[in-house]
Every structure is written in C-alpha cells, then in structure tokens.
Amino acid sequence: MLEVRDLVVRYGPVVAVDGVSLSVPEGPAGLGLVGESGSGKTTIGRTVVRLTAPTAGEVTVGGVDAFRARRAALKAYRKSVQIVFQDPDSTLDPRMRVGAAITEALRAHAIVDRAHLAIRVGELLTSVGLQADHADRFPHQLSGGQRQRVAIARALAVEPRLLVLDEPTSALDVTVQARVLQLISRLREERSLAYLLISHNLAIVEQLCEQVAVLYLGKVVEHGRTTKVMTRPVHPYTRALRAAVPELSETLPRPQTRRADPPDPAEPPPGCRFHPRCPLAIDRCRREEPVLREVDGRLTACHRAEDSLAAE
Amino acid sequence: MLEVRNLGVWFGERQVVAVDALDLDRGQMLGIVGETGSGKSMTAYAIAGLAPGMGARVEGSVKLEGRELLGLSDHELRDVRGRQIAMIFQAPISSLNPVFRVGDMFLRALRLHGASKPRARERAAAAMRSVALSPDLLRRYPHQLSGGQAQRVAIALAVALRAEVLIADEPTSALDVTVQAEILEVLQKLRSEESLAALFISHDLAVVSGICDTVAIMHDGKIVERGPVGRTLRHPEHPYTRELLAAVPRLNRPEAPGA
Amino acid sequence: MTAVGIGRVVPRRGFARRNPTLVAGVVLLGLIVLVALMAPWLAPDPADAGTATHPFRVLAGPSSAHPFGTDLVGRDLLTRVMYGARISLRLVVEVLVIAGLVGIPLGLAAGYFGGHVDQVIMRITDVFLAFPALLLSLAIAFVLTPSVTNMTIAIAVTWWPWYTRLVRGEAASVATRPYIESCRTLGVSPIRILLRHVLPNSITPVLVQMSMDAGGILLTAASISFLGLGAQDPTPEWGLIVSQGAQYFSTQWWFVTFAGLAILFTAIAFNLIGDGVRELLDPRRVISR
C-alpha cells in the first residue's frame, strides 16, 4: 500500500531523513514511527503527503509515485493519502465553520454531489463521535479533543486509503487522548484503514500498530513487530527509549544512555550515530556505520545486536 | 515549611483556583497533577507571587517559614524570589535571558543576593556539577544549549541560589523522553543530597509518581485528592483520579493489536 | 496546559464602557459624516461652495448670518467648511480603497507564494517606499494637473506599499499553519486557499492600520492642497482654504481658523477610531466575566 524506498530528505546542511525504507500493507494495518526530536519521523510523514520534497528516494501509494504523478494521477494521489496534524488549535481555520471545512474537502474531490453535501458532513461528524449540528460551530467553540475529531473527519472525507497521523494526541489531555485513540481504533476496523502513526509515545504505538520502526537521527535503528520490539528490544537505543518511559509506579525511569553532548543534526557522529550515547559502544561503532540486518525476527542496525539481546 | 491555605485566584469574576490547603516540608517533593484548566499552573504562579502580574486577583495565605508571602511589596518579593523560592518553567528559555551568557546570569543573580564575585563563581561551578553539567558550559549563550542542558541550567540556578523551595512547572514536558529521564535523575539526586523541597507541576501522572512522595490531583481549580503517591496509585478514592489512572496509556497491554 | 500571559482586564457590561476610545471616535466622526451628508440642506449658502462671489461682504467676521465669517471673495465659510467635509471624507475613503485593492492582493501573493514572486513584488514595493510619502505625492500631483482626483491618485500611489508589506508578513505566517497545509494536502485550489483562508486570516492588521491611517491621509491631502498642488479654487477643500487664509491670519483670523479646526477634529476622530479598533482587536484583552 505505502512503499517508502531509500528516502533521503535534506534541509540545507541537515539530513533529516537518511536512507529510510518502510512499508504499510493494505488496511486494517498500522505502522508506528517512533523517535525523539531530530529522528526524522515527522519529515517522513510530511513527505508521504507531499508537503516536503525528497532529495532522493521514492514514495508510492497504491503503486502511484507521489512525486512523479501529474494532474489526474496527482489528484488521485491526494485523495488516497491524508494527514492529521498534532496541534488541534491550528489544524482548523479559525474563521471557518467546522462543517464548511469538511465541505471544502468533499468538494475538492467531488465525493458527493451538491445535494448530498450536508448529509455527508453530518455522517462524517457522527462517525467521529460528534453530532451533526456541530457543523455550524466555529473551532473555538469546540474543545481540543473535538477539534482533533473534526480534523480526522475532514481527512476521512476524501476516503483516503492511507492516513498519516502526526502525533495526533500529543497536545491533548490524557483523558481526551484515551478517547481519541479509541476512535482511531474503531475507525481502523470500520474502514479497513491503513495508517502511519508518528509518535514519541511508545504506549500509543503499541496500542494501535502491529509494526513499528524506531528512528534515530534520520535512520531506522529497529523495525519489526511491535510486541517483539517493545517487550524485547534489540537496539540499545530502543532499549533506552523503552526504559525511559515513565510508568505509573513509584520508581523512576533509569536512563540507559551515556552522558554526551546532544548530537548536531548537521554533523552527525561518525560510524553509528548513536555511539556517543550507547552503553555498548565499541571501537567498530565509531568507525563503521551498521547496516540493517535481521536479528531475532526483526531488522536492526547494530554491530552488537546479539550482545544487546543477550543482555536483556 | 510552605503552607498554603484557602488560596483563591480570579481572572475578573472567574475563579480558576480554589485550593483549600497545601503543605510542603523540607526534602519533600509534592506533585500537582491536573489536565488543562485544572488550575495547577496558576496555583504555582500564585505561590511564586507571579499571579498579579498576569492580571489575576489572589486571596488567601501562602506562608513560607511562617512568613506571609501574599501581599508583599515588589521590593520584598524580589528578595524572596530567587533566594527562597525558585521557579523553572516548561520552556527553559523562559528562565534564561538570551542576551547573556549563562555564567553571567548566574553571577548577576548570585551577586544580587549578596555573594562576592569569586564566591559567586565557585557556587555557580558547584551548582553546574551538581546537575551533571560541565562548568565550561557557563560560557555559552542559552541558544547554544540543548533543551535538556538549558533545563538543567535552570535547575542549577535554583541550587546555586540555595533556594528553599523549587517550583517546577512542567519542567520536562517539552523534552524528549530520554532527556526527561536524565533530568528526573538529577532532581532525584538533588532531593536526596540537598534536601531540596519541590512542587512538581505536571499533567503526566506517571512522571510525578516516579519522582514525588506526595501527590495532589487538581480538577477545576480544586484539589480532589491528595496523599502519598503509592497509596493514590493503588487505592485512588476520587472518581476523577480513577479516570486519570485509567486513561494513561500503558506499555505491554495484552489486548493491543501490537501484541 | 493553560496559556498564561499578561492580560488587560476590561469591564463586561456595556460596549461603550469597554471601548471608550472607539465610541468617542465613532460619535465624533458620525457628526462629521452627518454634516457632510446634510450639507446641501444645512448650509446657509450652498452656492458659495462653488463659484459664487459676493463683493460686498468680502472678509466679513463671524456673525449670525455667517457664523464662520466669509472669505476673500465673500463666500460663506460655514458653507465651504461643511462642503469641505464631503470632499475630505470621500478622499480618505477613496485612497484607502485604491491602496487596499492594489496593496492587499500583492501582499497576499508575495507572502503566500514566496520565492521569486515575493522577491519581485517586494523590490517594487521597496522602490515606492523609498520615497517620503508627501514628496512623492507632491511630485505626482505636480506632473498630473492639480485637482482633487489627481491628488487622490497621488496619495493612493504612495500609500499602497505599506499595506503590501503588512499583508505579506501576515500571509507568510498564515501560509505555514497546519490548516493551510491541510488544504494543500486535500488538493484545494491555490486561489481558493488564498481567498477563503489566507485573506481572512491576514486582513486584521491591515484593517487596524487603515483606521489609523485615515487621519494621516487627511493631513497629507490638506498639506498638498495647502501647497497648491491639490484642490484648486473654487473647490472648498479644507487645506486649500487654510492656504488661502494664511496671509490674513493676523487680521481676519476666522478665515484660517475654522477650516483648520475642521481638519483637526476630523483627524482626531479618525485617530480615536484607529486607536479604538486596535484596542478592540488586541488579542490580550481579557473580558472580565
């Protein structure tokens, strides 16, 4: 369904995405992109919806190349992939009623004819847990969670095959977040939705995605079935990430990274990018960049993967 | 040490905080947890004396070591702030003046509170080490520091000023989770080594439960539940607390599709 | 997380209590507009606004028949000042409309599209901005034959670049917002994005600026006429009247004074409205509930 091949995205001196390949099958399916700031996960999401142009590599959805398509094919591409952004406060035009925003999406792709627009808007709103009469409201008259639901409804209005969710709940209160996540889960089943879930929150990714790719400084460091990666992480960065997540307990998360100056994205460390902070780093890690290879049923890029696994 | 009683904060006619009581002892970390609109941040600002500057009206009593803080003149407050109460914010840039080198900021703050230049330099260096930062970083400007480093500098400043109470408003919310873990470790160490008393305000119950001894859950301006962290986690009394606990996404849940 | 910031608390009840400046300005301007509209009926000698001359009452002082006195050909000054209001108000509106119609679309394009479009538009704008407004207006008015119409064009030509610059900044900022990006990913046409989304969200500062500029435009027009390059006799434009009466100031003070006061009060009215609009739209206003 979605194929990303050797994607490279450069912004001036910074290589935000450096040779990433991943895929999402036909729905219902979810791939989580996990990483911290500077990992490139957001850039990948934006590239998939053509908000950012790649420096190299290929992005195809349903066989259509995102950056080679023209006119009709481009229009069809736009219809097949949509994005939901992080910030509910700026994701909707404050001067437009919510129903009008959804109508705009419907009309852009002539999803239904004029006579049925209002009905469809109503259906979309109820499908995301709102009421049809919310269509007359302005964004500021809705709560953050409701606005995010509208954003989801708008994205779904064009009947996309793939949804990119960029930190869809990070700006929401935790109780609201729980409900929106339930919504996404339900929509996934109802519409056989395929999505790319970008998040720094491992628990959310585990809840919604069968597959996960962990990114560090523009490269994939681990990629495989979510259960495996979360319960028995191989890559030291994944281990550190997992260990750093605060749990509802009286113990503090233990940092498993060595103290080092934060990496400069314009000049990443030589060899393995994680080596300055890696507790298992050896000489080879400083010189040679590790390649993605299969270890214990998933892909990982680490010279000491087997040792890391044994240490778990 | 810090005693808050009947604290009320209003914006015009709307009351945003109605806290009946809040206590903080030396060496204790109290977490204030709430969602948007719960009033947790305004409570902190009111205690730090920053509320009137925002156009809010404050009533009630905030006593530090028996001394009433509300209603103090600006002059007296300036004395209290920094020396007795230090505050760190979600965006470390709020605490660090971008036109000064970090070290200069330390010196100015310390000398304002009476230290001599050489003593100030010593204390600044010692404070930096206590947050696991090299004193060399004192020569940098704030924009040359990463988010984690900047936040640690803000904490170091509080330590250098020997503040009795640290009020931290979402200090790690804007940081990556691995960096957050490091900052929390620093705070933990300070707590045990320097008996730092702190108010930790956060929307993240998991973070608070790890680092604080006691927690107060706020909803709609009021404290709905308070108590030791362990008890609150295991035996929550108020329905809102239970709702909050249930909503926190947890890792390794068997019913997830990822499982 | 609640956003906190310094807010101005304003009383809740009564629009007038909340916005005293704006209301004062609107009331004052309202009076002036009323006078302007009713001039043909209210003025004592409507013909005096034109070419009528009355040799027997030249430079007569204020009296019950002529409350503002008469000018050097005997025309009733109250009439002329009242008709002058029509000219001045119409001029201000026309300048704002022309400058807006030219400046705003250019600013939108420059801000939204960026790149070469932005560069070209901004360089053109810079050229116009390099000239002091009054001098450029004078130069243009001089080249074209002096008249109220040409003066209007001249002022509008010097005024539009400010709006372009203002709108460009807002549009550039709006262009990066997620709701605009959503429109792009949805495949909404750029024209529609510009008109339906970018324009409404970029226009507020321009509207505020326009309300503040009105006073300045009035004064610029009066200055140009005063220098003889704007309205020509018999047009009863205030600046022209002041210019005609300047030499008589020490003896026939009324000639200059009332026209001058008219300019003053109208400019004050515009300025009050400008300040009031700015206060009204100040995002940091906190309305006490």
ipTM of this predicted structure: 0.87
Residues A268 and A145 in one domain: no
Tell whether B255 is covered by a domain. Answer: no
In order of B175, C210, C227, C271, the CA distances from C133 in angstroms are 50, 16, 15, 19
CB C1 to CB B90 under 8 A? yes
Domain, as residue range, for B194: 27-39+76-214+222-246
Amino acid at the residue C179: Y
pLDDT of C196 above 70: yes
pLDDT for A107: 92
Domain assignment of residue A145, yes or no: yes
A271 part of a folded domain: yes
pLDDT digits (tens, 9 = 90+) for C267-283: 999 988 888 888 887 66
Give the pLDDT of residue C92: 93
Q: Do A150 and A36 reside in the same domain of the chain?
A: yes
Half-sphere exposure of B29 (CA within 13 A, CB side): 25
Determine, for residues B53 and C1 on separate chains, whether the beta-carbon distance falls below 8 Å.
no
C279 CB burial (10 A radius; 0-12, 13-18, 19+)? middle
Query: Which residue spans within chain C are E strands per DSSP?
Result: 8-10, 285-287
Q: Cα–Cα distance between C100 and C102 in angstroms, integer? A: 5
Neighbors of chain B by Cβ distance (3+ pairs < 8 Å): A, C
Q: Looking at the domain assignment, is residue A225 inside a domain?
A: no
Asked if residue A181 and residue A58 are part of one domain, the reply reads yes
Residue A50 lies in a domain: yes
* Domain C24-40+74-287 in CATH 3.40.50.300: no
Residues of chain A contacting C200 with CB distance shorter than 8 Å: 95
Domain-located, residue A267: yes
Full residue range of the structural domain in which residue A238 is found:
233-311
| Together in a domain, A105 and A35 | yes
The letter for the amino acid at A241 is L
Tens digit of pLDDT per residue, chain B (259 long)? 889 999 999 988 889 999 999 999 888 999 999 998 898 999 999 988 888 888 888 989 988 888 888 878 877 877 777 778 888 888 877 778 888 888 888 888 888 777 788 888 888 888 888 888 888 888 888 888 888 888 888 888 888 888 888 899 998 888 888 888 888 888 888 888 877 889 999 999 999 999 999 999 999 999 999 999 999 999 999 999 999 998 888 887 544 454 3
Q: How far is A91 from chain B (nearest CA, A)?
A: 19
Read off the CATH number of the domain in which B125 is found. Answer: 3.40.50.300
The ranges assigned to domains in chain C are 24-40+74-287
Looking at CA atoms only, how far is residue A67 from chain C in angstroms? Answer: 13
**Chain A contacts of C192, Cβ < 8 Å?**
104
Tens-place pLDDT, residues B78-117: 777 777 888 888 887 777 888 888 888 888 888 877 778 8
Contact status of A227 with chain C (Cβ, < 8 Å): no
Question: How much is the pLDDT for C27?
Answer: 92
Note whether B173 contacts C: Cβ–Cβ < 8 A. Answer: yes
CA distance C215 to A98: 39
Range from C56-60, C89-93, C163-167 carrying the lowest mean pLDDT: C56-60
Can you read off the two tokens belonging to residue B133? 């930062």
Write down the pLDDT at residue A117: 92
Residues A61 and A140 reside in one and the same domain: yes
Q: Are strands A194-199 and B197-202 parallel, antiparallel or unpaired?
A: unpaired
Q: Which of A160, A188, A215 is at the close of a domain?
A: A215
From the list B196, B250, B244, B209, the residue with the least C-alpha distance to B224 is B244
Taking only the tens place, the pLDDT of each residue in C248-266 is 888 888 888 888 999 999 9
| C188: its two tokens | 């909404």
Question: What pLDDT was estimated at residue A147?
Answer: 94
Quickly list DSSP for B205-244: HHHHHHH-SEEEEEETTEEEEEEEHHHHHHS--SHHHHHH
Domain identity same for A208 and A237: no
Residues A136 and A41 grouped into a single domain: yes
Number of domains present in the structure of chain B: 1
Nearest-Cα residue of chain A relative to residue C188:
A108
User: For chain A, how many structural domains are there in total?
Assistant: 2
Residue B188: closest CA among chain A residues belongs to which residue?
A252
Tokens 């873990």 -> residue: B181
What integer pLDDT is reported at residue B253 of this predicted model?
Answer: 53
Buried b (16+ CB within 10 A) or exposed e, B126-138: ebbebbebebebb
Amino acid identity of residue A58, one-letter, is: E
Of B177, B229, B245, the CB nearest to A200: B177
- Cβ–Cβ contacts within 10 Å for residue A192, how many? 12
